[in-house]
Amino acid sequence: MMKLKNSFLLTVIVGLSLAAGGCATGGMFAAGNLTDVRLQSGNYKILARGVTGEAAAGYLFGVTIPAGMMTNTIAIARVDGTGMLYREALDGLWKNFQSAHGPAEGKKLALVNVHYDAEALNLFVYTHAKVMVSADVVEFTE
């Protein structure tokens, strides 16, 4: 009887330790700025349409809830990726733009028509989160 009680107590302690030591990630890109940018005829040109970037991460014993601009994951441990999905997706977008159009430094560029998509694979022992970003890139000429 004492052995059963000790086994149960050990199981509870290990379970709580894993839950407390797990990981959670959430992301939302909500930008607000005070800059007034006007896309008027003659002051910009479209450099690229539909430039994309994506990032993914995998987790053990968790769940991912994708909701467009916001993706949340609660899990015991991350086994793939960094968990910085939105930052990595935007970095990938700019890397893809630069590989096709040259360096962005020194240019007056802006992302327009930005779209965020997310998807998740939820299995009991594994969850996989993926974020995709697409946008058009414009350059101001004035």
pLDDT tens per residue across span 13-51:
555 454 545 555 555 555 554 556 666 677 888 999 999
pLDDT at 80 over 80: yes
The amino acid occupying position 50 is G
Task: Kindly give, in sequence order, each residue whose CB lies less than 8 Å from that of residue 59, ignoring residues fewer than 6 positions away.
Answer: 23, 73, 75, 76, 77, 78, 79, 126, 127, 128, 129
Q: Helix or strand or coil: residue 142?
A: coil
pLDDT tens per residue across span 91-125:
999 999 999 999 989 899 999 999 999 999 999 89
Report how far residue 78's alpha carbon sits from residue 141's, in angstroms, rounded to the nearest whole number: 44
